[in-house]
Amino acid sequence: MFITSAVTLVLGALLLVIDLYYGALLVLTTSLAAWSAVRGTRATGQVVGVTDRRPGQPAKVRIAYETPGGRFEATARSPRTRIGEPVTVWYRPDRPAKAIAQNRPWRRAAIGLPITLVLAASSVGMLAGSAWYFAGTHPQLQLPVSTGSFALAGALACYYLACNRYALLLRWRRMARADGTVTRQDAQRRKPRFLISFEAADGTEEFWARAASVRAGVGDTVTVHYDPGKPATSATVQTAATVRSVAIKSTACALAFTVAFLLEALVVLLITTSA
């Protein structure tokens, strides 16, 4: 019990720090985006450079746009990564050099804020159960509160992965196939990644794939599946069967964590009502 409580305490503290960081970042970026969309000036810019790509995320691009005060550039995450492609930006009239390209701030807030709050509640529960153990208080609630909070965090993570895989399967029918070439390996990370280049319908695209899903080396050819509407962010070297298997396993894992959380929540309810 001592080791379990110590590990739970560390995990809860780490999860809370991460959650607070991303929660604050979400609130800040969403507020700035909402303010700019409501009070800022809209302009149509063009992608003039791509500086960074990450697995499953929009690329970091440089966007050039024209204002009455001259031509400026802004950096943003965008699924539109082709040079010359138009991107809508908003900028403050008094500071035209500062612009954002996030055009759906409320959708991001509606998804991100509830997740942040649930994770915060989960981490607080883990911390409370562990702290009660070391303080010698609430002996009946120590284990169910810690275990239930951990199960809630696990369920949320599994549901997120499952929804991501099911979303990919829903658009699989419109996915196109292409031959890709492994151009580079990033072995500096604990889990190596491969940069894969492929010819999409509108030009050459690149994306990062984790080593576990790539059975090839640098220079080898692999089969790429991608959505023609957003090739770089949807591209994958996994087959539909593999994606389906991950989705099913993630769903089963999420359901198991959910059942564990509900059982522990019931125990906590019974203890508190009978006290």
Confidence of residue 105 (pLDDT cuts 50, 70, 90): low
Q: What is the mean pLDDT of the chain?
A: 82
Across 12-26, 144-158, 187-201, least confident range: 187-201
Sheet containing 41-54, strands listed edge to edge, beginning at the edge strand earlier in sequence: 70-78, 57-67, 41-54, 86-92, 95-100
Q: Which two tokens stand for residue 219?
A: 């220079």
Provide the percentage of residues in the chain whose pLDDT is more than 90: 17
Helix axes 240-274, 139-170, angle to 10 degrees: 150
Let me know the angle formed at the C-alpha of 248 by 245 and 254, rounded to the nearest 5 degrees: 140
Q: How far apart are CA 72 and CA 62, in angstroms?
A: 10
Q: How far apart are CA 194 and CA 207, in angstroms?
A: 8
pTM of the model: 0.72
Helix axes 2-39, 139-170, angle to 10 degrees: 50
Q: How far apart are CA 237 and CA 218, in angstroms?
A: 15
pLDDT tens figures, 60-87: 778 888 888 788 887 777 665 667 778 7
Q: What pLDDT is recorded for position 99? A: 75
Q: What pLDDT is recorded for position 58? A: 64
CATH number corresponding to 173-243: 2.40.50
Let me know the angle formed at the C-alpha of 84 by 37 and 86, rounded to the nearest 5 degrees: 25
Q: What average pLDDT score do residues 112-138 get?
A: 86
Pairing of strands 86-92, 70-78: unpaired
Count Cβ atoms within 10 A of the Cβ of residue 100 and give its class: 0-12 exposed, 13-18 middle, 19 or more buried. buried
Q: 56: part of which helix (H) or strand (E)?
A: none
The residue with tokens 């125990």 is 267
- The answer on pLDDT for 152 being more than 60 is yes
